[in-house]
Structures are given as C-alpha cells and as structure tokens.
Structure 1
C-alpha cells in the first residue's frame, strides 16, 4: 500500500430527510478520519461528490494536517434537495503499512456497515406491525411448549408446578434498583415464586427471602433475542406455564422501547402470552414516555386486552391513556415503595465498617450519586464540583454512592473521578454495590440525596430522606408528583447546583421532607399492583377495569 497520492474510496449512498440531517455518508467520513488520524501523522482531503446523470461533480471539500487524534474532520453533507452523494477520501503521502493497517481498515468499514444495518433493523422494529409479527410467532412456539408439558414429553420430574407465581425480572446485573424491584416483587407475590432471569448471576436472593421458595429459571434469550435462541426460550417458558397461578412482569422503565426496543417488545409479548392463556397477568409499576416507540404503543394496546397494566406515576398514566390505552391501565406507585427494608431485622441492614463509622458519627451528610448515563457531561461535572465545594464549606460531609456498577455506563467511574478532585476526610467513596436494604440504611441517616438514578431516590424516600433526581429519560417527574415535590426533578441541562441548594434550604427549614403519612400512602398505592384481579376463564378480558378495581 506504499506510494504517494494513493486513493482510498468508499461509496456510501444516503437519502437526506427533509430536515437535511447528515446521513451515513458523512458518518463514515468521520469514522475513517478518526481511524487514520489515530495511526498516522498525515494530511487528508475529504470530498463529498454529487452524482447526477452518471457524472460525478465535486460539491465540497476540506483538507488539513492531523497530529494524532486531536482534530476531527467531519464530512460535509450535500444540499438537502439532492438525494445521493458519494464519500471519497484521499490520503496524501500514506506511509508504508502492512496487514495490520489493512485489517484495521476492514474492521472500521465493517463496524460502519454493522451500524447501518442495526439502524435499519431498528427502523423496521419500530413499525406498528412489528409487534404483531413477533407476538404471532411467539404464540405458536409458546403453545407448542405448553403441549409438550401437558403431554409429559421430556418433563423434568423435579420441576415444581401448581399455584406458583411467575415473575419476569428486569435486566439486573449490577443494578441496585433492579435488585430492589425483584426483592419487592418476590416479597409481595403471596406464594412460591418462579423467577425468570437472563442469568443466575444477575440477582442475589437474600437470606430473608429464602423461606418464600424462590425457583430461579435462567432464559437468556427470552427477552433479549429474536432468533433461534429466543424461540427455544419461548418454548421452554411454555413448559413452565402449566399450573401458574399468575404472572407478573416487572415493568420499571423498560416498556416503551427507549432503552432496548427488542427487550420491550418481548416483555410485552411474554405478558400477552399468559394473558391469552387465561393466566392472570400484569405489568407491574412502569413508566411510559411521551416518546414511546410506535411498535410498543401497538403492543400496549394489544396486551391491554389480556393483562393489567399498572403505571407507577400520574404522568405516565395520562400518557398511556393518550396513547389509546384506558380501560386496562391503572395507577400505582413504584413497587420499591412496598419493599420490606423498613421492617427487616437490623442485621440485614448492617453496613460495611468504614461506612458504618461514617454515618454513625454525629455529623450531617449528603448522599451524592452520579449516573453513568450522563457522567461524561462536562457541565454536569462542574455542577457536582460546586455542590461538593459548597457542602464542605458548610461543614456537611458527603457519601459518594454508586447505584449501577457494570462494564459500561457505570456510576463508580465518574464518582472516582469526582472523589479524586478532593483530598478531604469528610468525603467517602463507596466502591462496591450495597444491597437495597443497606442503601436504605445509608439514606436513613442522611440530610438529603442528589442522584442520577431514580430508584436511589425511591429508597431514600422510603427511609424518609428527601431527594433530588436528574431527569435523563423523562421518568422522574411522575415520581416527584407522587412525592408532592415537583422541584425534586432536575433537568440535566439546567442549573443543577442552584436548584439542588434551593431544595436543600427547604429541607433544612423542614418543609421538604417525606412524611410518615406520605410513605404509608405510597406503600398502599404500590401494593395495589399485587392485588389479584377478578378474572373470567371464558373471556380474555378482566371483568372490571383496573380503574374500578383500584378505586
């Protein structure tokens, strides 16, 4: 590949929308430029050329010297009224390179192609009919699994059936909020539980749940797949359907398709499978975005005919009704408000020694959490630094508490960076994930909580400690309507530090706390999602609407 003035050409067609949005062609230019800049000190020319009538006409270009990876040359898009363009990149004076560079180039091209394929697949899955196609195939496979179980073919004799409650868990795997949701669901299920998870390592069953007979069943592709593995797990689920007294799917914030569209569609489908089989089914305590994916809206309308939908805040309920789902939707509170942490023995809330000594000292402290979803925002980091500086100048200690620790988007990465800015014994960084009951115990002694994770705010509220939560997915406004503190929801792009201290002043003045009466009310509201509704076996729909049963 040696020699000067050698051309590397990739042609990627793109159709620009009416908004003139830059398409895959310019995206590829950026990927290619970043790749070469990371390997060579070289000059580039990036051209976008318009194809018209078989001829190529240059419509823009740019060149520059790139030292390392510091500068980024983005491709220029063609005029929005032109429909096709060709991306051409010319490298001047390329150095000698071997197979390693060629393989890197190929990998970069394949990554770009894979990204385009994923975008196309997502666009297809967002279509309203996508859910009906997925659900129709799942119904056939699920029915085959039920037939196998009823006929006894391949039946495992030690499988416990009859009168069990099947709970479909959220993702888990390093998320304290998901762990708290599962613990609350199992505790309030009123019967032996079959817990369907992606992996047996995603959740820990605490000792205080052992007497309740929890059977953990890993089905790794049931929720997160669409291929042969998914079909296998749907079939296996059908073999577990016989004798189930009810099915509860933990909804949380994963039903509207904004996190993982495939997972949302499969969750809706699983709920509908049992509802059509005359097994009482419900989606417990979930949020609904005003930007819900069209296929998920179709899913909610379809499954609504066969299952109960429990929205966990008034804002989400109004959005669901606006989406055309009214009769089957009811209002509850987040099911973590029904978590038994306040009533557990103190031994289950025991903290690690360092944290215990910190919270039992006669000092005021605030709990700070920075979500891995937004922790890289430079402006937000600046707000957190100002919060820490002002709290410490007032003599208030700080606990930096991670809520999600995973391979990606992990809270502790950004909390470590924040802690490294201060050499102060009044600031303690918690490196490991605590249990939900331990988080409750930490929050119980705090003055206030500032968090980027909603369920940390719920656990704080359960302990009586007020909180402020950064709004990243539009889901926390409804929580603070429940808490009667609308100023607790803080938009990420707002003046976070100022709004936080305004709320802290109310707390100090004892006008911003969470009263015992409000906590009891929210617990009662959360428990409504666990009430078994009347159900007729001769019809796929409940006798009454959820609104009537919840009143």
Structure 2
C-alpha cells in the first residue's frame, strides 16, 4: 500500500505550478483534545506565512483564539490517514494537488509516529513526509515521542524518511536516544510545540481569589483525571487518596478535563470519580473542555497541577507551576528530564495515589526549590521548541 500511496502522491505533486507561499501542517485528529488545539495554535503563531491545515473533519480545530483568522485555510481530507480504500487515494491526490510548491510540509507528530496509537496511520504519515520531501518540499515531523517499542514496519518507514532528508524532531531526550538506537537519520533534538504556545503573560502566578469558591488565603490545585488511564486501571481510589492529601495540605481542588472524545473521555472519568469519591464531590469542577489559552490562565493561577495528560503538564510547566504527571506510552519521562525533575513523572500502576501523595508532601517542604528548578530550565526548553519552526 505504501508504494501505491507514493505513486499517487508523486503524480499529484508533479507538473507545472506556481510557488505556494504557505506552510502545510498535517494535523492530528484533534476534535475534543486541548493538547492538539494548543499545538495547532502554536504552529500557526510561529510561522510567518499563511497555513494550510490538513484535518480529518471540518470542526476538529478552532481559529477562535488565532488573531488573524485569514492566516489559516483548512483542507478537510477525512480518509487521508485512517482509510485503506478509494477515499484514501482520492484524498492523497487532493492533498498533493493542493500543496504543490508549498514552503514546507509538517506533520503534527505528538504521540502518533511510533505506532502506539495505530501502526497503519503511523506508516502512512512517515511515507507521506518522505514522498513530499523527495518532491522538493521540505518536510518535518514536529515535536513527537518515540516509545522505543515501535513496530518494525513503522521503524522502516521512519528510516526511509530520514534517509530522504525529512527533518525528524523528537520532543525529549529519551525519544532522541531511542530513534538513534533504531538507526533513524535526520534526528534533531527539539521540544513540544506547546512550549512555543503564544502568551504575553508573565509566568508569575497572581492570587487565585477569582477562581470558583476561592479566596486569597487558599492554595489551588488543578487535578486532571485521564479517561485514557481510566480504561486501563481502576483509578478512582487512587484519586481519592490524592485529593485527601491535597486537602490535608491546605489545597482547594479543581477537577479539569483535557480530552473528551469517544475513545478517552476525561469528562466521563471525572463524573465517575465524583460518584465514588467523597473528596471529589467536595472539589470544584470545570464541566466542559476550555481553550488552551483558558487552561494556561488557570494553571498560572494554580499552586499545583496533578495530571494524567501530558499537554496539561506542558502548559503548567510553561506557567512555572509545579506539576506531577502520570506517564503514558513512554512519552513523559523525557519531558520531565528536560526540567530536571524526573521523579515528578509517575507510572499509572496500582498504588500511584500513594506515590503521588508522598511526592506532594515532599514538594510542600521545599516549594521554592521546585520553582527555581522549573524556571531555570524553561528558557532552554522554549528554545528547543523553536527548533520545530526552522527549515534547517
């Protein structure tokens, strides 16, 4: 199938055409995922020219928080990545004809390049990037994780893309080390796109008295309950333990969803927790997904973040707020190493509530040290994020 994709795309990209002064980004599915939206907004705000965003559905992404909405044009191709039939080839042709002569082609790599969420889709994206690079359009795989256990076919596609000159930009040192071990060329250390998320605000946290039920004497903890982790482990008792510890340490807790779609719904996970946990019923709740900018504003006002979602931890780190994050798909440990706090990454296995509670008490003893460690690494990580937007 990869040979067929290459043949169709090569033909679509061929022929006379004018230079297209636009950057193309192949987006993740997006709909119901604040992290995907944040990556998209970061890309748009960090490239100088107009953007063609290839998306699975017309309502997957919003331009509400993008200042120049005319900067973005959506190219809706529902069968490009996740189909194997006629519609797939039709969408490949449509994309090729639409992006001829573009300034660059980027894949929103994130979690999907190592096959952990689907071998076929990963192979297709590596193959598209390689073919477009060979056609003369600089191709990049933006800030992504590599779990070190990729399917052999995915590894082969990545190796071919690297040899073709695709710029491969892992978002953490663990992923870089794993890619090099898999003999993949063209690898350059970067960081997650969201560390380049647009904000004009200081990392200093104002008082949280304006938050629901809050006053200036209370500390605020933002707590995320991941629907993805909830599919793999019974986590309600673990969160009850965490919330009890936060309460004992004097925190007011706010439960915040970060992803809500049919496969992994944080809103449903929070509702389930509140049915079972007395402490969760005492907490405030954000009952729907909010925008990345609103999340950033919220975590800036927080004194602690505990999350099962990596991009919520990235927004918290960007705001200088202490964070503990549950690891999934081998993609979090390297992120926390970038900030010199590898122990703030906790595996979501039986007993993680007690492990996080112990860590919360340790952080409380020396909060200034955590602030200093995070702040001292943030500038360097933001510089690594900017690597995503360089052609070479």
TM-aligned CA distance change 1:410 to 1:425, over 3 Å? closer
Aligned mates of 1:436, 1:393 — CA distance in 2: 30
Q: Could you tell me which residue of structure 1 aligns to residue 316 of structure 2?
A: 460
Match of 1:232 in 2: 90
Contact 2:10–2:135 (CA<8 Å) still a contact in 1? no
Alpha-carbon contact 2:233-2:350 (below 8 Å) kept:
no
1:320 maps to what in 2?
Answer: 179
Q: 1:157-205: per-residue Cα shift (whole Å, max 9, x none)?
A: xxx9621000111110100011111111111122110010001110111
Structure 1 position 244 matched with structure 2 position 102? yes
**How do residues 368-379 of structure 1 correspond to structure 2 at under 5 angstroms?**
368-376=223-231, 379=234
Does the 8 Å CA contact 1:506/1:512 hold for their aligned counterparts?
no
Give CA-to-partner distance per residue, 1:502-533, whole Å, 9 cap, x none: 33234321222354332211111110121122
In structure 2, the gaps of 5 or more residues are: 203-208
Number of the residue aligned with 1:208 = 66
The separation in 2 between residues aligned to 1:294 and 1:490, in whole angstroms, is 28
Bigger CA radius of gyration: 1
2:32 is aligned with 1:174: yes
TM-aligned CA deviation for residue 396 of structure 1: 1.4
Q: Secondary structure at the match of 2:311?
A: helix
Q: Which residue of 2 aligns with 1:162?
A: 20
Residue from 43, 58, 78 that aligns with 1:185: 43
Deviation at 1:470, TM superposition (A): 1.2
Contact 2:317 2:374 in 1 (8 A): no
Q: Secondary structure at the match of 1:292?
A: coil
Structure 1 residue aligned with 2:338:
482
Residue matched to 2:389: 530
Separation (CA, whole Å) in 2 of partners of 1:255 and 1:294: 13
Distance 2:241 2:280 in 1: 15
Give 1:77's aligned residue: none
Q: Provide the rounded CA distance (Å) in 2 between the counterparts of 1:289 and 1:198.
A: 25
Measured against aligned partners, the alpha-carbon deviations of 1:50-77 in whole angstroms (never above 9, x if no partner) come to xxxxxxxxxxxxxxxxxxxxxxxxxxxx
Checking the alignment, whether the CA contact within 8 Å between 1:392 and 1:426 is kept in structure 2 is no
- 2: CA distance, partners of 1:342 / 1:488: 27
- Counterparts in 2 of 1:416 and 1:424: CA distance versus 1, 3 Å: closer
Q: Distance in 1 between matches of 2:159 and 2:167?
A: 11
Asked if 1 retains the 8 angstrom alpha-carbon contact of 2:241 and 2:354, the reply is no
Task: Provide Cα deviations, 1:124-180, integer angstroms capped at 9, x if missing partner.
Answer: xxxxxxxxxx33211211133234x748xxxxxxxx962100011111010001111
Report the Cα offset of residue 232 of structure 1. 0.2
What residue number does 1:339 align with? 197
Matches within 5 A, 1:71-110: none
Q: How far apart in 1 are the matches of 2:36 and 2:214? A: 25
Provide closer, same or farther for how the CA distance between residues 457 and 423 of structure 1 changes in structure 2, counting only shifts above 3 A.
closer
How many residues align? The count is: 381
5+ long unaligned stretches in structure 1? 1-133, 152-159, 345-353, 534-551
Inter-CA distance 355–454: structure 2 relative to 1 (3 Å threshold): farther
Pick the aligned partner of 1:256 from 108, 114, 121.
114
Q: Tell me, in whole angstroms, the C-alpha distance in 1 between the residues paired with 2:108 and 2:158.
A: 15
- The range that moved more, 362-371 or 226-235, is 362-371
Match of residue 39 from structure 1 = none
2:258 maps to which of 403, 409, 415? 403
Q: Distance in 2 between matches of 1:411 and 1:464?
A: 24
RMSD of aligned alpha carbons:
2.2
Helix, strand or coil at the partner of 1:240: helix
**Aligned CA distance change for structure 1 residues 360 and 338 (closer, same or farther; 3 Å):** farther
If the length of structure 1 is used for normalisation, what is the TM-score? 0.66
